[in-house]
Amino acid sequence: MISFQPTSDLQRSAELTFNNMRPYYAHYAVDWEQSKILEQISGLENWDILYRGVPVGAVRIAMENDDCYLRDLQVGTAFQNKGIGAQALIEAARIATEHGAKHVKLRVFKISPAFHLYTREGFSLVKEDDRFYYMAKEI
């Protein structure tokens, strides 16, 4: 039912991110456009999250030394709260392990409900600032 594949359409993927993140950008007065997101994700390892063969989300990672940075996890609003995000975290950890990573690290907006997903999935709070929680999980 849920599967993953290398992203085939970065433009579509950037649009999903822009639409999902719009409330956070507005809340924190971040000036982002879809073109900026596309530029940022172009240098990452991008994966589509498929639900019944249809792209419904994205996972983006970057490797640095023994760490995997989960730069982005997006699930379309119509598909949230169905366990897709949890499955995407398992897949990100699998990919990270294949790359030799020892940890998965991420940051999440403090106002994002995804913080609870990360906590449930074993991520620990490492530090915080005015906007973000920084979290990590050993794999």
Which domains, and CATH codes, for the chain?
2-138 (3.40.630.30)
Report the candidate in 3, 9, 67 with the shortest Cα–Cα distance to residue 38.
9
Residue 137 in tokens: 């999980």
Mean residue pLDDT of the chain comes to 95
Confidence of residue 47 (pLDDT cuts 50, 70, 90): very high
Confidence of residue 31 (pLDDT cuts 50, 70, 90): confident
Which residue carries 């999250």 as its tokens? 49
User: What is the model's pTM?
Assistant: 0.93
